[in-house]
Amino acid sequence: MKGMAFVGLIVLVSMMTGCHYYQEYRQMKGTADIQEERAELMKAQRECLQKYEDDPQAVERRCGMYTDMLPSRGTNRGDGS
């Protein structure tokens, strides 16, 4: 009986460890997804600025949304960036 309890305890501990690694993976994946989306927004913003570089009013109207969507670099987002 004690042997089965010990085996059960080992199985439980190993499952908890696996959950921890999965949680860590999900957090890393989420951070990577956010960074990828931010990179895509920055690329689109750069292209917009280049397209309308001769018309400052058009830049403000058409490219301002990218500035609003991108968090400032000084913002602490909690992901180490």
Instruction: Kindly report, residue by residue over 4-62, the tens digit of the pLDDT.
Output: 776 666 666 666 666 678 888 999 999 999 999 999 999 999 999 999 999 999 999 99
Whether the pLDDT of residue 74 is over 60: the answer is no
In a domain, 52, yes or no: yes
Q: Which tokens in the block code for residue 78? A: 């909690």
At residue 17, the pLDDT reads 61
Closest by alpha carbon to 67, among 52, 37, 46? 46
Compute the average pLDDT of residues 61-71. 87
DSSP label of 42: H
Is the full-model pTM beyond 0.75?
A: no
What residues make up the domain containing 48?
43-70
In a domain, 11, yes or no: no
- Give residues with Cβ within 8 angstroms of 59, minimum separation 6: 48, 49, 52, 53
Q: Which tokens in the block code for residue 42? A: 């920055």
In a domain, 17, yes or no: no
In a domain, 55, yes or no: yes
At residue 80, the pLDDT reads 45
Give the number of domains in the chain.
Answer: 1
At residue 77, the pLDDT reads 47
In a domain, 38, yes or no: no
